Amino acid sequence: MADGRKEPKSKYTLDRGMPGAFEGETVTRRRFMELTAHGAGAVAVSAFALPALGFAAGSALFDRPPVEWQPVGPEDAFEEDTYLPRTITEVAGIGQVGRTTIYVRKRNADDPPPNPPGIDEPYVALSTRCMHLGCPVRYIDAAKRFVCPCHGGVYDFLGTVEGGPPVRPLDRFYTRVTDGQVEIGARYSVNSEFRRFPSYRDPAQDLDGVGQYLYPGRFSTPKMD
């Protein structure tokens, strides 16, 4: 070809002047062996590496632990204007480590309406997990506030942030009444407008504005029976 353009190479090894080339061959035997050996090696490595990775990450990311409704006391034990501490089992089978404290009270007129209706109608159960980085908050009745010991997060009576670094109101738990007993179900998160996020987020994950898209829900959301 003219103008110094390179002539395209022939696809046949014979035409490219390779030593020992066969008629009609497009890949040399050496190249073929290389590809085969590398391919076999890749298959062998993936055969143990991929299952191992799946084993390490799969159940951690995708297992949905079952949630059992746990009774925390008779209906008339709880009041409208103060919280009572109760402990429930959050992770079964690991003794004291799996237990956590929650605060329970009757729903009152100040509360935002349940959204959607039917959720937590009669009772409100707040988690003690601080929404800054997960330390345990304590309810102080004289101040009607929740205070975190780690970095000074303060929440008001409804659980909304009043001061300090937390990014959203305290998580809540589903509640229901069975045979006169208040029962506690799965955890869920709310944003500052009390919009419900059934796939609860970890602390420090903002759920207002762009936050709800930056922190997608987890695949490991517990399954309610």
Partner 1 sequence: MKLPLPPLPAALKPKPKRPAEEAVKPIDQVKEAGIATVDWIDERTSLSGATRWILFRKVPRGTNWFYTLGSATLFAFLSQAVTGVFLAMYYDPSVTNAYESARHITNDVFLGEFVRGMHKWGSTVMVILVCLHMARVFFFGAYKYPRELNWVIGVVLLILTFVMSFTGYLLPFDQRSYWATIVGVNINGTGPIVGPFLSDFLRGGAEFGSTTLSRFYAIHMLLLPGAIIALIGAHLYLVTRLGTTAPPWLKAESGDGIREERV
Q: Which of 119, 135, 154, 177 binds partner 1 (CB under 8 A)?
A: 135
Q: Does 150 bind partner 1 (CB under 8 A)?
A: yes
Closest C-alpha among 150, 207, 171 to residue 88: 171
Question: Residues near 133 by Cβ (< 8 Å), separated by ≥ 6?
Answer: 150, 151, 203, 204
Measured CA to CA in angstroms, residue 62 lies from 56, 57, 215 at distances of 11, 8, 16
Cβ atoms of residues 119 and 196 within 8 Å: yes
CB-nearer residue toward partner 1: 59 or 108 = 59
Residue 166 engages partner 1 in binding (rule: CB under 8 A): no
Residue 116, preceding bond cis, omega within 30 degrees?
yes
CB nearer to partner 1: pick between 13 and 128: 128
Binding partner 1 (rule: CB under 8 A), the pick from 36, 59, 108, 115 is: 59
Return the residues of window 87-116 that contact partner 1 according to CB under 8 A. Answer: 90-91, 93-95, 97-98
How many residues touch partner 1 (CB under 8 A)? 34
Judged by beta carbon, residue 4 or residue 93, the one nearer partner 1 is 93
- Could you give the CA distance from residue 145 to residue 66 in angstroms, rounded to a whole number? 32
Interface ranges with partner 1 (CB under 8 A): 56-57, 59-61, 63, 65, 90-91, 93-95, 97-98, 133-136, 150, 200-205, 214-222
